[in-house]
């Protein structure tokens, strides 16, 4: 399984971020072709030392890294990517990788 993990920094207006994310971004992301599973964190994102500078983490599951590339080349993937600047005032970082169960 391949995953795309998006970390969102703490936004200038957390309530506005949360509202936009749930009402606008989630439907865009769910429309991405090849998406198998979509998860986000709930509540604070912590480190072993305490609070972090991360507001939310989203994990999108696909079958392969190639499927992630195809998904984000699609019109639906492009729409989801284009929406990020509309709410992620704290920035966003994306990591893509294959996983193996141990």
Are the CB atoms for 58 and 6 separated by under 8 Å?
yes
Alpha carbon distance 97, 1 (integer Å): 9
Give me the CATH topology for the region 2-98. Answer: Alpha-Beta Plaits (3.30.70)
Q: How confident is the model at residue 5 (pLDDT cuts 50, 70, 90)?
A: very high
| Residue 36: predicted pLDDT | 98
Entry pTM: 0.94
pLDDT in tens, 40-60: 999 999 999 999 999 999 999
Residue boundaries of the structural domains of the chain? 2-98
Mapping DSSP onto H, E and C, the string for 55-70 reads: EEEEEEEECCHHHHHH
């Amino acid at each position: 399984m391949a995953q795309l993990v998006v970390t969102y920094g703490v936004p200038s207006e957390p309530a506005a971020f949360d509202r936009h994310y749930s009402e606008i971004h989630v439907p865009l992301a769910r429309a991405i072709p090849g998406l198998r599973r979509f998860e986000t964190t709930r509540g604070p994102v912590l480190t072993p030392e305490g609070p972090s500078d991360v507001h939310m983490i989203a994990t999108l599951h696909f079958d392969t890294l190639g499927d992630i590339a195809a998904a984000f080349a699609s019109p639906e993937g492009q729409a989801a990517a284009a929406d990020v600047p509309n709410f992620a005032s704290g920035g966003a970082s994306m990591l893509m990788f294959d996983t193996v169960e141990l």
